[in-house]
Amino acid sequence: MGLIVQKFGGTSVGSVERIQHVANLIKQEVDNGNKLVVVVSAMGKSTDQLVDMARQITKRPSPREMDMLLTTGEQVSIALLSMALHELGLEAVSLTGWQAGIHTEDVHQNARILDIEKQNVLGYVEEGKVVVVAGFQGITADGQITTLGRGGSDTTAVALAAALGADRCDIYTDVTGVFTADPRIVPAAAQLKQISYDEMLELANLGAGVLHPRAVECAKNYQVKLMVRSSFEAVEGTEVKEEAVMETGKVVHGVAHDDQVTKVTVKGLKNEIGVLSRLFNLLAEYHINVDIIINQNIQGEEQTNISFSLDTDDLDKALQVLDDHKAQLNYEDIVYERDMAKVSIVGAGMISNPGVAAQMFQSLAEAGIEIKMVSTSEIKVSCVVPHKDMVKAVQTLHAAFGLDRVADKVSATN
């Protein structure tokens, strides 16, 4: 029939039994007459074990050596999964990132894929083999082993699907699909049948965690049809594509949250042209991802303050970089607030519905939740709130925008 790329995450291949189960899922698609390219992550806790050994040796492991260390995790997975496929009578061959032609930037621990030399994968596919590719990893032009950073296996799968012109890319994970909110936080959350790339991108960026944003971006750019589904339960997943048919009359389709947010404020910067670019170019140089940026620049004033939010994991690095470049940036002081969270509402219908943001602010205010920062795009509104209020904020918004009722409807049709 067609060519399908499947991706199985760490929990999906977390044990020998899970690997055997995944082999059976693959066999079903092969028996349906499809050609398969399978991308796998490292087995469940194996990455943690490797990181733990490194930490016993050094507090600041070299990024290059961390990539050398961690890429062994997927290599173990691809070998074992290929063996499990052989055991089911399928022809299968495993390929590391470099063998699969995954070329990346010359950056360790957070490289982006530059291009895919697909001949090797394609050659095996044409021989009728299931090709099992190590996710999360690639190679630089001068032969260094790199990793793609968090969620990198999703990106490997989508990039391969794009390069190979696959008919579909299935992202197998430990949830059954994309929900209107995290079901662990909002029990009334319902699974969506379809969602658009743009909305998924906002949800991914907002910490919904099901799919890595880079992967969604790549899928949108190359119009790769994604299917998010569970490797644990045989239920229908959520389709991610350009034009998704959503519930009519709903402006907001999902509420997302991100619980690892820190707000940093750089105080007493000289108010001059180029101050923003200098600061954020510097942070970008050190691969620190900044999310929301606020700079209420009042013309005529000599000094200005710039606030931004970032992943709390990056805080130490950011503070170090800012401190190392204090003279160059010419600021007075840095303050930061940890223990923040970001809650967001997402919906393609927002563009033509003014007042959605105002309704969000009002709902949060009525619930007594303080808003620390705000960020908006055409299809989402995000608020940074105290971490202690995150769950209440998500539940409040899920109800306020009528998503609890969507949940009832969907579960009634199941």
Residues that bind a second copy (CB under 8 A): 16, 19-20, 50, 53-54, 56-58, 61-62, 64-66, 68-69, 71-73, 75-76, 78-80, 82-84, 86-87, 93-94, 96, 99, 120, 143, 145
> CA 147, CA 150: separation in Å to the nearest integer?
9
CB nearer to a second copy: give 89 or 368.
89
CB nearer to a second copy: give 88 or 367.
88
Q: In angstroms, what is the minimal distance from the CB of 39 to a second copy?
A: 15
CB nearer to a second copy: give 132 or 403.
132
CB nearer to a second copy: give 12 or 180.
12
Instruction: Using DSSP, state whether 78 is helix, strand or coil.
Output: helix
Region class of 224: left (phi > 0), else alpha (psi between -120 and 50), else beta = beta
Q: In angstroms, what is the minimal distance from the CB of 35 to a second copy?
A: 20
**Nearest CA among 385, 4, 311 for reference residue 161:** 4
CB nearer to a second copy: give 2 or 123.
123
Go through the chain and tell me how many residues it has: 414
> CA 203, CA 226: separation in Å to the nearest integer?
15
CB nearer to a second copy: give 74 or 258.
74
Q: Taking the CB of residue 323, how many other CB atoms lie within 10 A of it?
A: 10
> CA 219, CA 207: separation in Å to the nearest integer?
18
Question: Over the range 326-365, which residues count as b (16 or more CB within 10 Å of their CB) and which as e?
Answer: eeebebeebebbeebbbbbbbbbbbeeeeebbebbeebbe
